[in-house]
Structures are given as structure tokens and as C-alpha cells.
Amino acid sequence: ARPLRVLGIETSCDDTGAAVVTSQREILSEAIHLQHKLHEAHGGIVPIVALASHSAHLPGVVRAALDQAGVKATELDAIAVTRGPGIHSCLSVGMNAAKTLAAVLGKPLIGVNHMEGHALMARFTEQTPPQFPFLCLLISGGHTLLLVAHDVNHYTQLGTTLDDAVGEAYDKVARMLEIPWLEGRGGGPGAALELLARRGDPHRFALPVPMRHSTRVGGMDFSFAGLKTAVQRELRRLPSDEAVKENQRADMAASFQYTVIAHLLDKLGRGFKWCRQNGIDATSLVISGGVASNQAIRASLSRLAENNGVPLVCPPAKLCTDNGVMIAWAGMERLQRGLIDDYAIDIRIRWPL
């Protein structure tokens, strides 16, 4: 039998993506339309602007994915689409398109949890795919999730953020530091902050590591709002001399990133401990989501994983950020387990894994 082919559609946030992948873990095609330019001026994503852009570009992106793959729509085995979590208007564009496509073609429809898409990406990109169960840290603009992945569709959430997501903190601090966004795929404010941080001294500003003295023993939740405020406070205390300020921007970026990493390491350490105490033999540490493309974070987490006797598994940077491939692949994993949805399903703005 020929390999299965799934079309994946992603419109949960600000990227319009479509891709076709096979059960042999090949990318037949990958099309994406980015909206960075539209949102930069506003300093964040404006839902109505995102909606208009998804509506305008999704048909062309899907057409491009099919053409590039050299696959007729009738030769697909399923249509997968991000069902949630995400922005209401944005999710609706993808969901309506996918439902209609699937119904017209008489193909299975698979509604994918965006975060499961990020989590399963590592099983697509690795030569030796990480086997279940694995410990998984998903860090993006909208989410900070520490999970145990037991199987497809079966997760235990160990921790989440109590306030801002990691990527959101990167974005807000980048804004305070007035860093221009990096253009192109995998760009945005977070990637720009990472670049600036490379030139800075991470010990120049002593920022408090969030929740280090928390009394909740074993707590695996995250918090980034206090850190953001601490950066703001330090910035206000800087001399008003513009030249001095300019020099210290890189130090602030580096100090912020250093503290974020310390916080992630604290919580992941607890995650590994939790696994041991609960008889879960994690095969690996998987990280994904836009922030997981950060090289400094990867390097530190890789050492932590090694100390816990497992490999760090992380998809290539461009597959860590939102894209159609991750939805197509999660759809494939679900299709292979018979997890198919009704054409009447609706989007889920909030959808815990």
C-alpha cells in the first residue's frame, strides 16, 4: 500500500500554514504566509487584522501546498486542521475551510490541538523518533506547558504559566528594549532579543528567578510577569544618558534570558523528579514551540537532559514555530490510531491537552 498523505492547515494565530506529509515522515510540501509585517506596528497580534489576512491567504496557501506536493485533493487520506487553542476568528477560518474540503472530498476530518502539534513534531523530525512516555516542555507566544506525553491523545499536565507565557515575556521585554523585530520565518521579537543577548553580560543585572522561594513544594507552574516588571524597574533606574542606555540594552537582554533559563531549569528539574517518583521512565526531554528555537535555551536544557540520563530532542528551528507540517503530522498520528472527528466539530479557543 502507498504511504498515507495528510493535508494540515494551521490558522490559530498569525501564520497561515498548509502542508502535506506522508506516513513515512516526508514533507511533500509546505506553504506558509506570515503576518509579522501587519502586526509589528501594533506591537502585537490584532485579531481582526489577522482574520482578514487568513481569509485572504488561506486558499492560495492550500493551493500552493497541493501543487508543490503534486498531489490531487482526491488523493489525500485526511484533512487535519488546528481546532484550538487560539484566537477565535483565526481558528474559524481554518476550521471552516477544512470542514468544507473534507466534506466535499468525502475524506476524514481531524481536529488537532495546536499544542499536541508542537509536542508530536519531535516524532516527525528525528531519525529515531522519541518513544512514549517523554517529558515535554512547550514554550511559545501563547503557552508554557510542562507535560508528560504518555501517548498520542494522552498527556498529563504538570505545570503551566500562572500569568504570561515565555514567548509573551520575550515579546514584552523586546518591546521595552525597543528591539526591532527580526524579519522572516522564525523571526519576531523573541528571536531579535536572543540575538541582542549574545552581545550582553548575563550577570550585569541581578534579576530575581521567579518562584525560587515558593513555598509550594513540588510546584511545577511557571510565572514570568514578575520578571518582566523587574526588567522594567531596572530600566527606569538606568542613567538617562542615551549612550549608556544603548550599551546596557544588550546586558539587560542577556540578564533577562539568563533568568528565564534558570526558571525553566528549576521547573524541569522538578519534572524529572516527578517522573521518577511516579514510576514514569521518560525516554527523552522534548522541547518545542517558537521559543524552543532559541539556541541559548537549547544548550542549557541539553545539559539538564544529559544530567538526567536522557537526550534533549528538539525539532529544527523552523519547525518549532507555527506551521502546517506540525498539524499535518499530528493529524497523521491521530489518523493511524483511528482518532477521526465529525464534520460538525467546532473550534475550541481554550483546550487543555
Residue 321 in contact with ligand KG4, rule: CB under 6 A:
yes
For the chain, the helix, strand and coil percentages under 3-state DSSP, each to the nearest 5: 45, 20, 35
Residue 81 CB partners (closer than 8 Å, separation 6+): 8, 9, 10, 94, 95, 97, 98, 99, 109, 110, 111, 112, 327, 331
Give the strand pairing for 312-313 and 285-288: parallel
- Whether 285 and 253 have beta carbons less than 8 Å apart is answered as no
- How far is the C-alpha of 256 from the C-alpha of 260, rounded, in Å? 6
Residue of 124, 134, 155, 170 that binds ligand KG4 (CB under 6 A): 170
Residue of 69, 90, 191, 286 that binds ligand KG4 (CB under 6 A): 191
Tally Cβ neighbours within 10 Å of residue 43. 13
Q: Which stretch binds Zn ion (CB under 5 A): 25-33, 90-98, 317-325, 333-341?
A: 317-325
Question: Which does residue 224 touch among Zn ion, ligand KG4, none (CB within 5 to 8 A, set by kind)?
Answer: none
200 grid coordinates:
550582553
The CA–CA distances, whole Å, from 188 to 45, 296, 316, 326 equal 11, 17, 17, 20
Question: Which does residue 234 touch among Zn ion, ligand KG4, none (CB within 5 to 8 A, set by kind)?
Answer: none
Query: In the bound complex, what is the minimum distance in angstroms from residue 321's beta carbon to Zn ion?
Result: 7
Residue 140 in contact with Zn ion, rule: CB under 5 A:
yes
Largest Cα–Cα distance of the chain, in whole Å?
Answer: 70
Residue 180 preceded by cis peptide, ω within 30: no
Taking the C-alpha atoms of 273, 265, 14 and 83 in order, what is their torsion angle to the nearest 10 degrees? 0
User: Of 102 and 197, which CB lies nearer to ligand KG4 in the complex structure?
Assistant: 197
User: Of 12 and 22, which CB lies nearer to ligand KG4 in the complex structure?
Assistant: 12
Residue of 189, 210, 271, 331 that binds ligand KG4 (CB under 6 A): 189
User: Of 144 and 284, which CB lies nearer to ligand KG4 in the complex structure?
Assistant: 144
Between 9 and 28, how does the x/- string for binding to ligand KG4 read (CB under 6 A)?
Answer: ----x---------------
Residue 171 in contact with ligand KG4, rule: CB under 6 A:
yes
Query: In the bound complex, what is the minimum distance in angstroms from residue 36's beta carbon to Zn ion?
Result: 15
User: Of 5 and 118, which CB lies nearer to ligand KG4 in the complex structure?
Assistant: 118
Residue of 116, 322, 333, 341 that binds Zn ion (CB under 5 A): 322
Residue 290 in contact with ligand KG4, rule: CB under 6 A:
yes
Site for ligand KG4 in 116-145 (CB under 6 A): 140-142
Residue 289 in contact with ligand KG4, rule: CB under 6 A:
yes
- How far is the C-alpha of 328 from the C-alpha of 184, rounded, in Å? 22
User: Of 63 and 88, which CB lies nearer to Zn ion in the complex structure?
Assistant: 88
Residue 291 in contact with ligand KG4, rule: CB under 6 A:
yes
- How far is the C-alpha of 215 from the C-alpha of 162, rounded, in Å? 15
Residue 82 in contact with Zn ion, rule: CB under 5 A:
no
User: Of 11 and 22, which CB lies nearer to ligand KG4 in the complex structure?
Assistant: 11
Site for ligand KG4 in 292-311 (CB under 6 A): 293-294
Residue 190 in contact with ligand KG4, rule: CB under 6 A:
yes
Q: Which stretch binds ligand KG4 (CB under 6 A): 64-72, 144-152, 221-229, 284-292?
A: 284-292
Query: In the bound complex, what is the minimum distance in angstroms from residue 43's beta carbon to Zn ion?
Result: 19
- How far is the C-alpha of 96 from the C-alpha of 109, rounded, in Å? 11
Burial of 321 (0-12, 13-18, 19+ CB in 10 A): buried
User: Of 140 and 284, which CB lies nearer to Zn ion in the complex structure?
Assistant: 140
19 grid coordinates:
502542508
Tally Cβ neighbours within 10 Å of residue 345. 15
- How far is the C-alpha of 86 from the C-alpha of 45, rounded, in Å? 12
> Of 223, 184, 181, 142, which is closest to residue 317 (Cα–Cα)?
184
Binding site for ligand KG4 (CB under 6 A): 13, 140-142, 167, 170-171, 186, 188-191, 194, 289-291, 293-294, 321-322
Binding site for Zn ion (CB under 5 A): 140, 322
